[in-house]
Amino acid sequence: MSRLRLLAGPDLSIGAERLASHHGRLGPLPKGGHSLVDLLVRTELTGRGGAGFPVGLKWRAVAAASRGSAVVIVNGAEGEPHSKKDRLLMSSRPHLILDGALLAAASVHAREIVLYIGEGHHAALRSMTKAVGERNAGERRLIRIVAAPGRYVAGDSSATVHLVDAGIATPTTTPPPTRERGVGGAATLVQNVETLAHVALIARTGAATDTVLVTVAGAVRTPGVLEVNAGTPVGEAVQLAGGPSEPVRALLLGGYFGRWVEAAEAWSLPIDPQALRARGLSLGCGVLGVLPVSQCPVCEVAGIMRYLASESSAQCGPCFFGLRALADACTRIAERGTDAGDLQRLQRWSAEVQGRGACKHPDGVVMFLQSAMKTFGDEFTHHPAHLRKSA
Amino acid sequence: MSKRFELVVDRIKCDGRGLCAEILPEMIRLDSWGYPIIAPGTIPEHLVGLAQRAVDDCPVLAIALRRAEVQRQKER
């Protein structure tokens, strides 16, 4: 069988593909188990939720710790503000995701599958609920649906477990990782919905899938979700999104926990998880954010920093107070102009915050800020006081 | 068997009371907001007693001694 695409099949505007059409197109659900886990290790599929963890290795670890009581959490929280690909997949190809989840459950000997879906993703919730209803009784009995709050940290794997266990979607202290100790103390596989959809295709063809879902956002003519072949240059994806709507200054690759790259450098970068990692970059959750020349990067960064600080779950002091302080310093530079003291404080506080949260939220924010200060160094060191201008 | 230990902080439990940094300033300093920053590496032999006191006296039980990772790997 030739390589398949996630979004192949009926027109996306029709909405959720029905089970009969899904089976007609792709055939019945293949078998999960040892050989599928080995296949996933060989294909080197990595998670598409943001962290990019090797899927086969994660399944192997959960299977080893499972003793028949593991839980699979299907992560459709999609709390990244500009990302739309997970909800598009849930609302249009729900059975691909369910196939992946059932294959995961069979492979790690799970007793339960939890569909963890952002509460604001209404179409996705409806589509997934209806799709579960189309499945046979044995499959239905395994699956339940939980609505996740629309917060940035709600998609963290320990937060998904915390919500399922205690109704609170905040991260918990790790180690141990959820793959060893998750829901009710059982080994838990937390896997992003796009990742599971890839698994559904890999299990059918026996070969690696060759595509990546990206969300092109910002200064393009037709922002939205695209399925591109792995290795497609960033510039080509931007062209597929209608091309830039105005001259471009830089791109944010991988969403808010990603990296800023100068436009000239970004166009030729390959959209491929492994290739980007080799360059010290990350595909993250697949967001390509396009920043136009007309927008002040410092003001943009300050706004995102305020958002990310407000998304701290306020549990760990260095994150709660540190991110606030960093966002305030960025805002002062943006509003009142560059101040040498604030630039120094940004460096010092970044170092103090790094690695000192229960989850990776503070680390992600610091990485975002460091990359911004590197890419927009001149703007940060020579920022005018904005209130003096009417711009 | 090795007896090398390191200090680990449960960041969620930690409330920034700062007692640990008073008891063991050789290894613990406070950040700009009063939360402990632990020096990396294992605890020198002569400070293990004080480290244990920092652990015992934490009002919210947020700090613990843990057998050092490096040593575990060597033992294998």
Mean pLDDT of chain A: 95
Q: Where are the beta strands (DSSP E) in chain B?
A: 5-9, 28-30, 36-38, 63-67
Type of residue numbered A161:
V
Q: What pLDDT score was predicted for residue B72?
A: 47
Q: Note whether A349 contacts B12, CB cutoff 8 Å.
A: no
Give domain status of residue A62, yes or no: yes
Residue where one domain finishes, among candidates A269, A292, A315: A292
- B17 inside 8 A of chain A by CB: no
- Regarding whether A156 and A71 lie in a shared domain, the answer is yes
Q: Note whether A173 contacts B12, CB cutoff 8 Å.
A: yes
Q: Note whether A316 contacts B31, CB cutoff 8 Å.
A: no
Q: What pLDDT score was predicted for residue A390?
A: 52
Q: d(Cα A110, Cα A142) in Å, to the nearest integer?
A: 9
Percent of chain A, pLDDT > 90?
A: 94
Give domain status of residue A353, yes or no: yes
Q: d(Cα A225, Cα A138) in Å, to the nearest integer?
A: 34
pLDDT confidence tier of residue A2, bands split at 50, 70 and 90: low
Number of domains in chain A: 3
- Of B10, B15, B35, which has the smallest distance from its Cβ to A318's Cβ? B35
Q: Give the A:B interface size as CB pairs under 8 Å.
A: 43
What CATH number has the domain bearing residue A378? 1.20.1440.230
Give domain status of residue A2, yes or no: no
- B16 inside 8 A of chain A by CB: yes
pLDDT confidence tier of residue B1, bands split at 50, 70 and 90: very low
pLDDT confidence tier of residue B74, bands split at 50, 70 and 90: very low
pLDDT confidence tier of residue A3, bands split at 50, 70 and 90: low
- Regarding whether A185 and A56 lie in a shared domain, the answer is yes
* C-alpha closest to that of A301 among A269, A335, A327, A266: A327
Give domain status of residue A55, yes or no: yes
Q: CA dist A179 to A109, A142, A185, A364, B16, Å?
A: 13, 19, 10, 21, 30
- Of B10, B14, B37, which has the smallest distance from its Cβ to A352's Cβ? B37
Contact assessment for residue A93 and residue A11, using Cβ atoms and an 8 Å cutoff:
no
Q: d(Cα A294, Cα A131) in Å, to the nearest integer?
A: 44
Q: Note whether A322 contacts B33, CB cutoff 8 Å.
A: yes
- Regarding whether A194 and A338 lie in a shared domain, the answer is no
Please list every residue in chain A whose beta carbon sits closer than 8 Å to the beta carbon of residue B31: 318, 322, 352, 356
Domain coordinates in residue numbering, chain B: 5-75
Please list every residue in chain B whose beta carbon sits closer than 8 Å to the beta carbon of residue A316: 11-12, 14
Q: d(Cα A294, Cα A234) in Å, to the nearest integer?
A: 21
pLDDT tens for residues A194-250?
Answer: 999 999 999 999 999 999 999 999 999 999 999 999 999 999 999 999 999 999 999
| Mean pLDDT, range A328-337, rounded to an integer | 96
Q: What pLDDT score was predicted for residue B68?
A: 81
Compute the Cα dihedral for A273, A279, A285, A287 and give only its sign.
negative
- A321 inside 8 A of chain B by CB: yes
- Regarding whether A233 and A196 lie in a shared domain, the answer is no
How many alpha carbons lie under 13 Å from residue A5 in its C-beta half-sphere? 12
Q: d(Cα A288, Cα A6) in Å, to the nearest integer?
A: 19
What CATH number has the domain bearing residue A286? 3.10.20.600
Q: What pLDDT score was predicted for residue A284?
A: 92
Q: Note whether B31 contacts A348, CB cutoff 8 Å.
A: no
Q: Is the pLDDT of residue A360 over 50?
A: yes
Percent of chain A, pLDDT > 70?
A: 98
DSSP per-residue codes, A182-232? -GGGS-EEEEEHHHHHHHHHHHHHSS---EEEEEEEESBSS-EEEEEETTE
Q: Note whether A325 contacts B33, CB cutoff 8 Å.
A: yes
Q: Note whether B32 contacts A349, CB cutoff 8 Å.
A: yes
Q: What pLDDT score was predicted for residue A385?
A: 87
- A352 inside 8 A of chain B by CB: yes
- Regarding whether A215 and A196 lie in a shared domain, the answer is no
Nearest C-alpha of chain B: how many angstroms from A44? Answer: 27
* CA B59 to chain centroid: 14
| Mean pLDDT, range A302-320, rounded to an integer | 97
> Which DSSP state fits A154?
G
Q: What range defines the domain where residue A265 resides?
A: 211-292
Give domain status of residue A256, yes or no: yes
Give domain status of residue A45, yes or no: yes
- Of A321, A348, A356, which has the smallest distance from its Cβ to B11's Cβ? A356
Q: What pLDDT score was predicted for residue A34?
A: 94
- Regarding whether A46 and A188 lie in a shared domain, the answer is yes
- Regarding whether A201 and A228 lie in a shared domain, the answer is no
Type of residue numbered A23:
H
pLDDT tens for residues A64-84?
Answer: 999 999 999 999 999 999 999
| Nearest residue on chain B to A175, alpha-carbon basis | B10
Contact assessment for residue A170 and residue A153, using Cβ atoms and an 8 Å cutoff:
yes
Nearest C-alpha of chain B: how many angstroms from A164? Answer: 19
What CATH number has the domain bearing residue A184? 3.40.50.11540
> Which DSSP state fits A17?
P
Give domain status of residue A324, yes or no: yes
Q: d(Cα A172, Cα A150) in Å, to the nearest integer?
A: 18
Nearest C-alpha of chain B: how many angstroms from A169? Answer: 14
- Regarding whether A174 and A76 lie in a shared domain, the answer is yes
* CA A190 to chain centroid: 12
Please list every residue in chain B whose beta carbon sits closer than 8 Å to the beta carbon of residue A173: 10-13
The lowest-confidence range among A1-5, A111-115, A244-248 is A1-5
- Regarding whether A64 and A45 lie in a shared domain, the answer is yes
- Regarding whether A274 and A196 lie in a shared domain, the answer is no
CATH number of B5-75: 3.30.70.20
Q: What pLDDT score was predicted for residue A51?
A: 86
Contact assessment for residue A170 and residue A315, using Cβ atoms and an 8 Å cutoff:
yes
pLDDT confidence tier of residue B69, bands split at 50, 70 and 90: low
Q: Is the pLDDT of residue A114 over 90?
A: yes
Please list every residue in chain A whose beta carbon sits closer than 8 Å to the beta carbon of residue B15: 317
pLDDT tens for residues A23-41?
Answer: 999 999 999 999 999 999 9
- B69 inside 8 A of chain A by CB: no
Question: Is the peptide bond preceding residue A270 cis, with omega within 30 degrees of 0?
Answer: no
- B64 inside 8 A of chain A by CB: no
- Regarding whether A129 and A69 lie in a shared domain, the answer is yes
Q: What pLDDT score was predicted for residue A302?
A: 97
pLDDT confidence tier of residue B73, bands split at 50, 70 and 90: very low
| Angle, helices A19-26/A94-107, rounded to nearest 10 degrees | 70
Chosen from A323, A345, A347, A356 to mutate, greatest number of chain B CBs within 10 A? A356
Chosen from A173, A326, A359, A360 to mutate, greatest number of chain B CBs within 10 A? A173
- B12 inside 8 A of chain A by CB: yes
Please list every residue in chain B whose beta carbon sits closer than 8 Å to the beta carbon of residue A348: 32
Contact assessment for residue A302 and residue A267, using Cβ atoms and an 8 Å cutoff:
no
pLDDT tens for residues B17-60?
Answer: 999 999 999 999 999 999 999 999 999 999 999 999 999 999 99
- Regarding whether A364 and A222 lie in a shared domain, the answer is no
| Nearest residue on chain B to A345, alpha-carbon basis | B32
Nearest C-alpha of chain B: how many angstroms from A92? Answer: 39
Count of helix runs (H) and strand runs (E) in chain A: 17, 11
Q: What pLDDT score was predicted for residue A174?
A: 77
For residue A129, the tally of other CB atoms under 10 A from its CB is: 14
pLDDT tens for residues A243-301?
Answer: 999 999 999 999 999 999 999 999 999 999 999 999 999 999 999 999 999 999 999 99
Q: What pLDDT score was predicted for residue A185?
A: 92
Q: What pLDDT score was predicted for residue A176?
A: 87
| Nearest residue on chain A to B15, alpha-carbon basis | A317
